[in-house]
A and B are shown apart, each in its own frame.
Chain A
């Protein structure tokens, strides 16, 4: 088991309902349990999944099961599937040491609510984090033929950033169990693409 820089170590996955944050968080949790960590993964389900703002809280520990929600200002890593949602999560859970990996592709709110200037949002994300990597996951996923691959690309980026106590290889058995045949190949391609985008921006 790799060492933890903090106890508990807090990862937050922020996005919009429907982007696949539940699946992504479950994958991270499964890999961590396989490595012997004690984790809690708290998801937003139900009505908020319908286009609302969603966060998953992943608490990683070597010794104990913690309560499911991250304390205010205590995120260690924020994985953002959408820029405004990443900023929203930083407002609640951010701190000067937080590391951010974010997909800069906006998902516009419904009802004609204007989306803020993307450059300002990106500046704010950088301003509120120790380090922010912008990973064009949706663009890459569209190139692969389905925007839903964005979440696996982001999972790859998270592994590529090497901020969790996990080797990127720890994710392979999880992907293998979940996907088969051509879907497995596509997801591995997306995963590796994410690692690459993070390491060679």
Chain B
């Protein structure tokens, strides 16, 4: 499927994921550089470009974090080459310090698009955030596509827009855009030689923003930014992404952004309201195209805002309406202000239908009531299915060792968690061991602080966790800080050889580039030793040794100790066709289940998905469709009922 991304077949309709469509749009616009840090829901954009980077002559990189990614991309634009930086909402926060200066300096001759995706419903994230708000507070142009095809068109258009206003352009997605495949009509690929990259060495008095990239003097740069913003607003008034459909004077005007426009269109369709309700679909959002909006506000007495998370359009349009002195006209506004939509979570056409039936006082029966009653009855059978670490996951081994080491230590030690698959450690998969979890690298940062509380009587040992990719991203400065400031904790780096949660992307410790080519390995162990921390390496599948190592390090109770827990991610093993090490079985005569002192420890607490509880037989079983033969449960079973045999 990768070849489609660079297929030279204009006019063909192909099926692309939103993320692939973003990649295609950037390729059609002739980008020369793309950089990112992996973060779902955007993780597939960079690999899609990397797959064709050779044939399209594009430099791609997985950067160590989003700020670096943005800086790498910006340099390319400064030198006249179009660039794309990609990040999820949390990544935008990391990159903001650069971005709030970049819009002040401008981006030079090469257009620059920053694709940021939010995650309403936090389907792939620890938080929900409406990144559109950032564009408003630090003054940056903002676009938001409705579907995969529009994402491609919009990204390509955004580069020209960026160049015409000399500003980076944020294109904002949401999870449903990024992870929905849809028909995309391919456009032309750029032909001919790429222009030479060059940083202007001539001071141009008349156009300093194209030869000088410093945001000082700031008041001048800020004024210039606002001048550019007015030009940007004029362009957005005529952008092809704001469209109206419906009657000339609608009884109700829906103003919807991004995927919410599709939800709205579907609701209007289902309720047969095309003659009564108008839909202003907004894709070019900021700076707010005031004329376009005022023109439609003047034709209705009822407005419904449909957008996910914050009341971005709702607030901005109501501000505009009040400021324009039109409030004598008496419009009733509906949306989050009226309680028809929540300020959080994912929405959908169902919610829009509900809002429309309420506002317009119409009846609509979506579901057969008898069926619904019967279904509700049957739903009592359906158990929860909490997320879990995979069968064979090294993090389960690490958490098991941590749990036992903390119990043996006996001083109420605890874990400062971090972002990655091991974030699940706050719940059953990590035996409830992780007690804090915030941002990338924060486990180590927070542990720094705990390590200084001894003077106030704090006497609990602290363990910080960091993934391998997370270590390079943001835990490294916290480790340096800890050694320098003489903090006191044990850092466990869970080195599973991949950025696993987001799709096994390489990082500086893996020796592989985004393109798959070999790279120098930035030696994690040497890096840690260079800080002055005490460092050791363990394989968490050696449970006894690992537990002992953690306990020993906890007991030292001074300085910074690092244990690198090194074991390859099970899913990467599968990808590399590494065969199972053991074949597993349960000896039924030895497993006495609930009568055992352990009360079925393996399925009740250990919880590997490869283990099942046979409630009829009262015994544990191996699920052969899931078990990967890691052998860990054999070491956990206190009755010796789970047996492992080396596979030859």
Contact = CB atoms under 8 A, between A and B. Distances in A.
Interface of A: 16-18, 25-26, 29-30, 32-33, 38-48, 50-53, 65-69, 71-74, 84-85, 87-88, 90-91, 94-96, 105, 107-116, 120-121, 124, 127-128, 138, 141-142, 147, 150, 177-178
Contacts of B180: 40-43, 68
13 contacts: A16-B385, A33-B183, A40-B182, A51-B390, A51-B609, A53-B385, A68-B262, A74-B366, A96-B368, A108-B603, A108-B613, A111-B388, A115-B612
Contact of B14 (A17, A33, A46, A65): A33
B96 interface: no
Contacts of B389: 50-51
Contact of A84 (B125, B385, B604, B605): B385
Given A29-B15, A39-B181, A112-B604, 13 more contacts: A39-B182, A39-B183, A50-B389, A51-B389, A65-B183, A69-B349, A73-B371, A90-B378, A91-B376, A109-B385, A112-B607, A113-B386, A177-B1
Contact of A109 (B13, B374, B383, B608): B383
Contact of B266 (A71, A110, A142): A71
B259 A68 contact: yes
Interface of B: 1, 13-15, 40-41, 123-125, 147, 149, 175-176, 179-183, 259, 262-263, 265-266, 270, 348-350, 353, 366-368, 371-372, 374-376, 378-379, 381-390, 421, 424, 428-429, 501-502, 600, 603-605, 607-609, 612-613, 615, 623-626
Contacts of B385: 16, 51-53, 84-85, 109-110, 113
A33 B15 contact: yes
B40 A50 contact: no
A178 B3 CA distance: 12
Contacts of A96: 368, 371
A48 B386 CA distance: 9
B182 A138 contact: no
Nearest to A72: B350
Given A30-B15, A110-B429, A84 B124 contact: no
B124 A46 contact: yes
A17 B270 CA distance: 32
A39 B15 contact: yes
A120 to B, nearest CB: 6
Given A65-B147, A68-B259, A147-B625, A50 B390 contact: yes
Contact of B383 (A47, A68, A73, A113): A113
Contacts of A16: 385
Contact of B15 (A41, A88, A150, A177): A41
A87 B382 contact: yes
Nearest to B421: A50
B368 A47 contact: no
B176 A69 contact: yes
Contacts of B603: 108, 111-112
A147 B623 CA distance: 11
A71 B366 contact: yes
Given A47-B123, A67-B263, A109-B385, A41 B366 contact: no
Contacts of B386: 51-52, 109-111, 113
A174 B312 CA distance: 42
Contacts of A91: 375-376, 378-379, 382
B375 A94 contact: yes
A108 B623 contact: yes
B378 A128 contact: yes
A94 B371 contact: yes
Contacts of A120: 381
B378 A73 contact: no
B182 A110 contact: no
Q: Which of A91, A105, A138, A142 has the most CB of B within 10 A?
A: A91
A90 B367 CA distance: 12
A68 B348 CA distance: 9
Given A43-B179, A91-B376, A115 B383 contact: yes
Contacts of B612: 108, 115
In order of increasing CB-CB distance, the 5 nearest A-B pairs are A46-B124, A73-B367, A67-B262, A51-B388, A147-B625
Q: Which of B125, B182, B262, B266 has the most CB of A within 10 A?
A: B182
Contacts of B183: 33, 38-39, 65
Given A42-B176, A110-B429, A127-B378, A26 B424 contact: no
Contact of A87 (B40, B378, B502): B378
Contacts of B124: 45-48
A44 B180 CA distance: 9
B496 to A, nearest CB: 13
Contacts of B607: 110-112
Q: Which of A67, A94, A114 has the most CB of B within 10 A?
A: A67
A66 B262 contact: yes
Given A18-B390, A40-B182, A51-B388, A67 B259 contact: yes
Contacts of B349: 67, 69, 71
Contacts of A74: 366
Contact of B381 (A17, A112, A124): A124
Q: Which of A52, A112, A115 has the most CB of B within 10 A?
A: A112
B263 to A, nearest CB: 5
Contacts of B366: 71-74
A117 B624 CA distance: 20
A48 B270 contact: no
Contacts of A33: 13-15, 183
A73 B270 contact: no
B392 to A, nearest CB: 12
Contacts of B371: 73, 94-96, 128
B327 to A, nearest CB: 33
Contacts of B375: 90-91, 94, 128
Nearest to B603: A112
A67 B266 contact: yes
B147 A111 contact: no
Given A46-B41, A84-B383, A105 B147 contact: no
A38 B13 CA distance: 9
Nearest to A37: B183
Contacts of B381: 84, 87, 116, 120-121, 124
Nearest to B266: A67
Contacts of B41: 45-46
Nearest to A112: B604
A110 to B, nearest CB: 4
